[in-house]
Structure 1
Amino acid sequence: MKLFPNRLRGLSITAAASLILTALPAWAVDPFTLKDIRVEGLQRVEPGTVFASLPFRIGEQYNDEKGSSAIRSLFGLGLFTDVRLQVEEGVLIVIVEERPTVADVSFSGIKEFDAEVLKKTLRDVGLAEGRPFDKALADKAEQELKRQYINRSMYAAQVVTTVTPSERNRVNLNFNVIEGDVAKIKDIRIVGNQAFSESTLRDLFDLDTGGFMSWYTKSDRYSRAKLNADLESLRSYYLTRGYLEFKVDSTQVAISPDKQDMSMTINVTEGKRFVVSSVVLQGEYLGKDDEFKTLVAMRPGEAYNAEDVSKTVKAFTDYFGSFGYAFAQVEATPDIDRANNRVAFVLRAQPARRVYVRRINVEGNNRTRDEVIRREFRQLESAWYDSDRIRLSRDRVDRLGYFTEVGIGTEPVPGSNDQVDLTISVAEKPTGNLSIGAGYSQADKLSFIGSIKQENVFGSGNYLGLDLNTSKYNRQFVLSTTNPYFTADGISRTLDGYYKTTQPYDAQGGDYEIATKGVGIKFGVPFTERDTVYFGVGAEHVKVTSGDELPEAYLDQGGTYLPATVGWARDERDSALVPTAGRLQRLNTEFGLGSDRQYVKLSYQFQQYVPLTRQYTLAFNTEVGVGKGLGSKSFPVLRNFYGGGLGSVRGFEQGTLGPTSAVIGSTTGETVNIGGARNLVFNAEFIGPFPGAGNDRTLRWFAFADVGNVYGESESVDLSKLRASVGVGLSWISPIGPLRFAYGTPVRKFDGDSIQKFQFQIGTSF
């Protein structure tokens, strides 16, 4: 007998299920014992999937209620368009009609997105190749595609879905997209402002009406997330200038009928400007009230500043954290006197409970090994929570230079009131630079140039550098590797090996050669968290082959060099990649131990970064170097300092400042730059976000002023001979590494100086 007739076939799931439930009384059967269960109509679905969904087994009693439950369960799988039950002489036959599966998902007309990215988006909503097809899912996918285009400010995008049946109960899906143009912001209005001009407030926004950098920043494309961030910037601007009761009343965003232009109107209420009248501490301060009072940033008589309030609360929380109280509660309660426009603050503190760190998790390091990050941590697992150590740990990870972002989050451990987990999240940046090239010239013939520099090779935290140049006149092979954790205590080891030859490239046919080969080893010993002392030794042999065009200063520079180095470095910058605050100091001393070359070379570098605002920074750099020969020997020319160009005085050609040497055999008085034994350089930079780039840390501009020169060993450091330049530049953290471009104009120069106004390099600041 048939429990349900064939006329149910072809109905939708909802309609079929509704009809089934309605029709149950009409086709009721008497309960009976199941002798067997058969499934018909399966193509790809495994029989076990069907049997697992049935609420009965062979040998059990079957009734109408169980039959209804079985149909609901099978429809609930989402795998079938029709389900029927038939009973024949104690045998239950389950007849199903499978949904078609998706054979292929394709796109046409897309330019804004990569097809694989869109396929992943559709996969997240349940539509992908090999999965059952559902018209509702196709509609949902269509809406998701439109949402993706709306996120790119392409409101005119249209999506048409085409479903094409294929063999073996499959379908092909094609999403035809008419993208249209990007909707641009044409107008931004701020209504209700009185204390500040509308143009001043609009300058706070990342969103704008477009400019010459809009192609890079896309700042004229509307985004709700960006608008929310801009509104927060607007609130912060008012709240840091005394406007305690400032609020954004409403925000209207209108789009033109053709969906190409957008207008934004922001309505605000400024309120009155308030002044802080007093600050009082209440609560439990661990008996350290005086220490906490020194952390208060708010000052009576000054305008209310929300940043000062936040800074005070954070300072209190961090100070509690340094004693293990990770969940200390600090509240700054304002008592507002509207009649006199004054506000008094009560700081209430409750240390709560002392906690320790159960586990430290690492996220976002797809390439860098966990141990590379964990070994920089000074907060240990199963130790008391210490906010100072956690902050130091974050700074140490950031100073590795492998990441664009480093953050640390704290989460309570469920079921425990004295444990927390720390999660350090990082965003990796490219840390390698690979360049390969070949060239051909009449002089050099065919030459090969290659360079591999990887600061985080294979995610191990080790540095590996290889330079190769097969040019006829400047050949070199340099291999360098650094293991920052050669020992478990953090002692680093650097190994160097190199071979270099230099010949003149001169139309007159100069043929002298300087060949240098050497090896070196250096160890870095961390004496404190921020201080590292370096010790190193090396061996180097220089051979000078005389010939035409040889500078006189190189005549006696051949021989064996045995340099020993002792250095010290302290890095207190907030970031190695884009520093905005802190200080860096380096001191290095090199001694020549060989019998042929005995000398001492001392160099010192000092960098200071001063944050002016959240966006602007002042940076200063000073470098001083002195070299002197020991005994009756002069300082080796091959150990000279060089001045001019990036890293020294910009606007002057690289390495052209300082003493020169006459060329042997020259009849024209030709000279070449050979550097000097004394070096003096001062740099100052004003750094800010690139116009139109908002707060993007990867693209910044700077204005600079440089002063410096190089002097010979027998020369006095004459300040009247200092060269000076000013200019502007661009710093870009590009996919191939940090790039710096500078355009400098000398403001103090002398006859014979080589000027080079535009310069660039791949490297760090200064």
Structure 2
Amino acid sequence: MTRSPTRRLLALALTSALTAPAWAQFAPTPDAAATQIAPLPQAADAFTVSDIRIDGLQRISAGTVFTYLPIERGDTVDQARTAAAIRALYKTGFFEDVRLDRQDSILVVTVVERPAINKLTFTGNKDIKTEDLMKGLKDIGLAEGETFDRMDLDGVTKELVRQYNNRGKYNVEVTPTVSQLDRNRVDVTVAIKEGKAAKIRHINLIGNEKFAEEDIRDSWESGTTNWLSWYKRDDQYSREKLDGDFEKLDQWYLDRGYVDFSRDSAQVSISPDKRDMFVTAGITEGEQYKISTVTVSGDTVLPREQIDKMVFVKPGQIFSRRVLQASTEAITAVLGNIGYAFAQVNPVPDVDRENRTVAIDMQIVPGPRVNVRRIVFKGNTRTADEVLRRQMRQFEGSWYSQAAVDRSKIRLQQLGYFETVDIETPEVPGSSDQVDVVVNVKETTSGSFLFGVGYSQLSGITTSIQLVENNFLGNGNRVSIAAQRSSYQQRYDFSFLNPYFSDNGMSLGYNLWWREFDYSDFNVAQYSSDSGAAQVVMGLPITEYDTVSALFGIDTNQINPSLATPTEIIDYINAVGNRTFHAWRGQLGFARDTRNNAIFPSSGTAQRVTLETTLPGSTVEYFKVEYDISKFWPLSPSLILNTRLNLGYGDSYGSDFVRTLSDGRVVTATGLPFFENFYAGGVSSGGRVRGYVDNTLGPRASSPYSGYPQPIGGAVKTVGSLEMYFPRLFDTNAARISAFLDFGNVYRDVDSFDASELRASTGVALLWRSPMGPISISYAYPLRSKDADPVTGFPGDETERLQFTFSGGL
């Protein structure tokens, strides 16, 4: 640690002032010279050092002192070398006091060590994180294990007060406490009482004649108290926010042609109790200017006509700095995409105040064409470099492209393996035409592990285990294993997907599963079934954003009805004449994903359409079509709107099954089979309408032996939502809160569709990507529900306000 110049000069001054009197007073007599320690001599009494002794050391080794001491055995010591030695030892920052004495020809160095910091603790800090404080203190040498300096601690105290003042907290109290410990150590505790931020009570603009103050301040972050201040905190004074707002004030007028606009004064006053702030700014608007001429000069690299198309400012337009900046950014972006990473466009204005016009000369300086030397990945302690590298659209040895770098970042974010992705492009030292691309990632949970044990009198003990890993062994493969067993159910699932089976990005995987349901407890019609499937899945990207997929497999499903099974399901089975359904199954899908993040996107669209059908030769020939679209609208840094719609439709395409039963009834099997019906209600992603019990919306049917109507799903599904996310409520990328409006229902067929039957709910939700996997908690209030029919006794909707999920996907 380096001591302050003031203290070093003071120490040297005191040493020089005391040397001469001390020598005169304590000069040794001839008889005592062999045993008495004496101060060092003046220049006339220099001596040769035969040995050096260090006194006063506790933690620091003698070797460390000898390293910094500019005197060795055999050296001649005089007053100048004494001052230099003291100065060198003080400069280390290890010592509070240094004294040089003489015992005969032995140089005696006596030191008093500074204490070491044993523990550094902050209490009461909420506005500034402890890890940020620790990092800042470590940069100046005030950290655990370092040498303690009281002057550094005093400086830190003043800096903390300044930072809190900048955040509008003028009642802050910072109290450092130093506790002495054994072995020359100290504990340092900094107690902070942050207090409350001062509120802005009034903002006044003086001199605005052409525009209303509320229009000018519409985009400001600072404001007086309003109904949204509890969330936006815009009424809390902050110097940084206010400085940014004043820049927006300048931008407001310059975007509207007021070239001579000036901010004449800005005054911020505080009430005596330091709780209220008053802001006043005086401005001069000036006159409005127009563009007279626009020229382009310099090395354009590209054809002049192409550059001209990117110049949005035109003669006769009102001058606008925003439009001028957009032109500059458009040109630099195009040049940056063809390798000119350091291209500059300097718009030079020529102001004619007499005619109130501005002539613009766009001077282009392309700089050297830049090549990417190396791509480096940092922070991927678990994920292999290859997994990241295959997502890169910027390649080593090629010309630098800003568009390719930006797209690479989005593709890495869409993997879902990383909490944050940052890309830097530092210049290669000594080379002006080369850069490195450094990708910094922070890994997050890429899967989930679930284990549960339950018990009921009906089913006994239930155990379940599920392991989903989207980044298996860090190689990007997806593996899912699940098993569930109880007295009424056995379920085993296994799936594997290699997203890069081939170099061109083709994915290949397979699914295997077997399920035995002896009793249904899933809010659907009651029947048991034994089913299994083997499937192969493939996917192929056709553009940067579009992917096609295919599935082919064989499955079997044996239905075992019971007395509680609804009559129409029994009739369907009897019409087919077989309880076992075999199917050769095919599926085609198309997906387009332009989201900027796979976990918590803030912009972009994800949409998918799938066509699933059983092939000829299957027991029942039918198809299902499903379309899902989700679009994210960034309304502001504090608000993100997600609009989502999920539609589904299914029907049979083969001949209907018609059979006459022994009792004379004629039964028919037509349309989508009951075991392929769509369901809605609850928190499942396919039919999410929160506030209703899972799978309970839509048609119901009953059995003559069980009069209670049971959900049986439908062949038509309409589900959607409007959800507003508040990303700034948590200072983390792993959680967010939202307010939502869900709507939807399922219908027996197309003819049964009735918009008045749509159910709706509203509420709030918390989504958290915890270390164990994603967690979703929602509290919903149903807005459109059907009550039980008092005449027929037909039950109404089953509602459930608080719902919770913990799974491998949100």
CA distance in 2, matches of 1:335, 1:760: 64
Partner of 1:553: 569
- Structure 2 distance, partners of 1:280, 1:650, is 58
Counterpart in 2 of 1:399?
Answer: 414
Q: Establish whether residue 672 from structure 1 lines up as the match of residue 711 from structure 2.
A: yes
In the alignment, which residue of structure 1 is the partner of 2:277? 262
Range that drifts further, 369-378 or 645-654: 645-654
**TM-score for both structures, normalised by structure 1:** 0.81
Judged with a 3 Å threshold, the aligned counterparts in structure 2 of structure 1 residues 530 and 159 are, in CA distance, closer, same or farther, namely: closer
Q: Which runs of structure 2 are paired with 1:330-729 in the superposition (5 Å)?
A: 330-336=345-351, 338=353, 342-362=357-377, 370-402=385-417, 406-425=421-440, 441-444=456-459, 447=462, 455=470, 461-463=476-478, 476=491, 478-502=493-517, 503-505=519-521, 512-551=527-566, 552-553=568-569, 555=573, 558-577=580-599, 582-592=604-614, 595-606=618-629, 619=643, 621=645, 623=647, 625-630=649-654, 635-643=672-680, 650=689, 653=692, 655=695, 662-666=701-705, 668=707, 670=709, 672-676=711-715, 678-679=716-717, 681=718, 685=722, 710-712=747-749, 724=758
Aligned residue in 1 for 2:27: none
Higher mean C-alpha displacement, 352-361 vs 122-131: 122-131
User: Which stretch of structure 1 is more off in the superposition, 42-51 or 397-406?
Assistant: 397-406
Tell me which of 137, 153, 177 is aligned to 1:138. 153
Q: Is the 8 A contact 2:614 2:621 kept in 1?
A: yes
**CA separation in 1, counterparts of 2:272 and 2:83?**
52
The answer to whether structure 1 residue 34 and structure 2 residue 49 are counterparts is yes
Q: 1:41 to 1:578 in 2, by over 3 A?
A: closer
Take 1:252 and 1:458, find their aligned partners in 2: how far apart are those partners? Answer: 60
Secondary structure of the corresponding residue to residue 53 of structure 2: strand
Q: Hey, what does 2:14 align to over in structure 1?
A: 19
Offset of residue 411 of structure 1: 3.5
- 1:264 aligned counterpart, secondary structure: strand
Alpha-carbon separation, structure 2, partners of 1:521 and 1:327:
48
Deviations 1:440-462 (A, max 9, x none): 55545555566665555676545
Taking every aligned residue pair, what percent have the same amino acid on both sides?
Answer: 32
In the alignment, the residues of structure 1 paired with residue 586 and residue 392 of structure 2 have an alpha-carbon distance, to the nearest angstrom, of 32
The aligned counterpart of 1:311 is 326
| 1:649–1:708 contact (8 Å) kept in structure 2 | no
- Kindly tell me: are residues 395 and 335 of structure 1, through their superposed partners in 2, closer, same or farther at Cα, counting changes over 3 Å? farther
Task: Describe the SS at the equivalent of 2:157.
Answer: helix
AA partner of residue 586 (structure 1): R
Q: Secondary structure at the match of 1:416?
A: coil
Cα RMSD between the aligned structures? 4.7
Deviations 1:173-212 (A, max 9, x none): 4444444444444444444434443344444233444566
Alpha carbons of 1:174 and 1:642: their partners in 2 closer, same or farther (altered >3 Å)? closer
Does the 8 A contact of 1:325 with 1:351 survive in 2? yes
Unaligned runs of at least 5 residues, structure 2: 1-6, 24-40, 658-669
**TM superposition shift of 1:45:** 0.8
Does the 8 A contact of 1:213 with 1:692 survive in 2? no
Residues in 1 aligned to 2:310 and 2:58: alpha-carbon distance in whole angstroms? 73
Residues 1:579 and 1:128: Cα distance change in structure 2 (over 3 Å): closer
Deviation, structure 1 residue 245: 4.8
Larger Rg: 2
1:42-82, Cα deviation, whole Å (9 max, x unpaired): 22111111111122332444444333222211111122222
**8 A contact 1:650–1:744 mirrored in 2:** no
Alignment-derived partner of residue 170 in structure 2: 155
Give the number of aligned pairs: 748
Q: Is the 8 A contact 2:291 2:318 kept in 1?
A: yes
Mapped contact 2:12–2:83 kept (Cα < 8 A): no
Q: Tell me whether 55-64 or 420-429 shows the greater mean CA deviation.
A: 420-429
CA apart distance, 1:364:
6.4
The SS at the match of 2:432 is: coil
Q: Is the 8 A contact 2:115 2:186 kept in 1?
A: yes
Equivalent pair of 1:698/1:734 in contact (CA under 8 Å): yes
Q: Any stretches of 5+ residues in structure 1 without a counterpart?
A: 1-11
Aligned to 1:58: 73
| 8 Å Cα contact 2:530-2:557 kept in structure 1 | yes
- Quick check: 2:689–2:719 contact (8 Å CA) kept in 1? no
Answer with 599-608 or 288-297: which moved more: 599-608
**TM-score w.r.t. length of structure 2:** 0.77
Q: Which residue of 2 aligns with 1:5?
A: none
Which amino acid is 1:354 matched to?
Answer: R
Summarize the Cα distance change of 1:208–1:289 in structure 2 as closer, same or farther, 3 Å threshold. Answer: same
Residues 731 and 111 from structure 1, CA distance in 2 versus in 1: closer, same or farther, beyond 3 angstroms? closer
**Which of 329, 333, 336 lines up with 1:321 in the alignment?**
336
Decide which of 96, 101, 123 is 2:111's aligned counterpart: 96
| C-alpha spacing 1:33/1:274, structure 2 compared with 1 (3 Å) | same
Instruction: Quote the Cα distance in structure 1 between the aligned partners of 2:800 and 2:252.
Output: 39
Q: Deviations over 1:643-686 (max 9, x none)?
A: 567755858956556655x444346484532321x55x485859
Contact 2:505 2:541 in 1 (8 A): yes
In 2 relative to 1, CA 112–577 (structure 1 residues): closer, same or farther, beyond 3 Å?
closer
Corresponding letter in the other structure for 2:652: K
- The separation in 2 between residues aligned to 1:482 and 1:738, in whole angstroms, is 24
- How many Å separate the matches in 2 of 1:557 and 1:208? 70
Aligned equivalents of 2:169, 2:430: Cα separation in 1 = 47
Query: Is the contact made by 1:369 and 1:459 (CA closer than 8 Å) also made in structure 2?
Result: yes
CA deviations on 1:366-393 (whole Å, 9 max, x unpaired) are: 7765544332111111111233323332
What is the distance in 1 between the residues matched to 2:379 and 2:220?
Answer: 29
Matched residue of 2:158: which SS?
Answer: helix
Counterpart residue identity of residue 166, structure 1: L
The answer for the alignment partner of 1:49 in structure 2 is: 64
Q: Distance in 2 between matches of 1:437 and 1:90?
A: 81
1-structure distance, mates of 2:755, 2:546: 35
Give me the whole-angstrom Cα distance separating, in 2, the residues matched to 1:126 and 1:174. Answer: 16
